[in-house]
Structure 1
Amino acid sequence: MELVWLEDFNALAESGNFSRAADARHVTQPAFSRRIRALESWVGVELFERTAQGATLTEAGQSMLDNARELTRRLYQMRAEVKEVAGKATRTLHFAATHSLSFTFFPAWIRQVEDGAPIEGIRLHSDNMAACEQLLLNGEVQFLICHQYPNVLPRFDSKQFDSKVIGSDTLLALQSPELKPGEPVPFLSYTAESGLGRIIASYLQNNPGHPVLETVFSSHLAAVLLSMALQAKGIAWLPQSLAAPELTSGRLTRSSVALPDIQTEIRIFRAMIPLGDFAEKFWAGLEH
Structure 2
Amino acid sequence: MELVWLEDFSALAEYGSFVRAAEARHVTQPAFSRRVRALENWMGVELFVRTPQGATLTEAGKQILPSAQETARRLYRMRSEAQEVAGMAIKTLQFAATHSLSFTFFPRWLRSTENGAPIEAVRLHSDSMAACEQMLIQGHVQFLLCHRHPDVPPLLAPDQFMGKKVGEDVLVPLASASANFGSAPASLPYLAYTQESGLGRIVAHRLQGKEEFLHLKPLFSSHLAAVLMSMALENKGVAWLPRSLTEQEVADGRLVRALDESWDIPLDIHLTRPTGAISQSAEEFWTKLRDC
TM-score by length of 1: 0.93
Q: Counterpart in 1 of 2:77?
A: 77
Structure 1 pair 215–208 and aligned structure 2 pair: CA distance change class (3 A): closer
Shift of 1:245: 1.5
Q: Counterpart in 1 of 2:189?
A: 186
Look up the SS of the partner of 2:180 in the other structure. coil
1:214 to 209, 217, 220: 217
Structure 1: gaps spanning 5 or more residues = none
How many Å separate the matches in 2 of 1:256 and 1:241? 18
User: What RMSD over aligned residues (CA atoms) do the two structures have, in Å?
Assistant: 1.9
CA contact (8 A) 2:172 2:243 kept: yes
Q: Counterpart in 2 of 1:40?
A: 40
1:112-158 C-alpha deviation (Å, 9 max, x unpaired): 11234321110111110011111111111110000010121221111
Structure 2: gaps spanning 5 or more residues = none
Q: Counterpart in 2 of 1:22?
A: 22
Structure 1 pair 179–42 and aligned structure 2 pair: CA distance change class (3 A): farther
Shift of 1:30: 2.7
In the alignment, structure 1 residue 277 sits paired with structure 2 residue 275: no
Shift of 1:258: 7.5
Shift of 1:100: 0.8
TM-score by length of 2: 0.92
1:247 to 247, 250, 254: 250
Q: Counterpart in 1 of 2:152?
A: 152
**1:129 aligned partner, one-letter code:** M
Q: Counterpart in 2 of 1:133?
A: 133
CA contact (8 A) 1:179 1:234 kept: no
How many Å separate the matches in 1 of 2:44 and 2:127? 33
Q: Counterpart in 1 of 2:106?
A: 106
Choose 130-139 or 73-82, whichever is displaced more: 73-82
Structure 1 pair 254–62 and aligned structure 2 pair: CA distance change class (3 A): same
1:31-89 C-alpha deviation (Å, 9 max, x unpaired): 32222222223223322122221111122222221221121111112112222322333
Choose 22-31 or 150-159, whichever is displaced more: 22-31
1:177-226 C-alpha deviation (Å, 9 max, x unpaired): 32313433211110111000011111122868851322111110001111
Q: Counterpart in 2 of 1:53?
A: 53
User: How many residues matched?
Assistant: 288
CA contact (8 A) 1:98 1:145 kept: yes
**1:171 aligned partner, one-letter code:** L
**1:105 aligned partner, one-letter code:** F
Shift of 1:28: 2.7
CA contact (8 A) 2:181 2:189 kept: no
Shift of 1:234: 1.0
**2:98 aligned partner, one-letter code:** T
CA contact (8 A) 2:173 2:259 kept: no
In the alignment, structure 1 residue 229 sits paired with structure 2 residue 232: yes
In the alignment, structure 1 residue 203 sits paired with structure 2 residue 206: yes
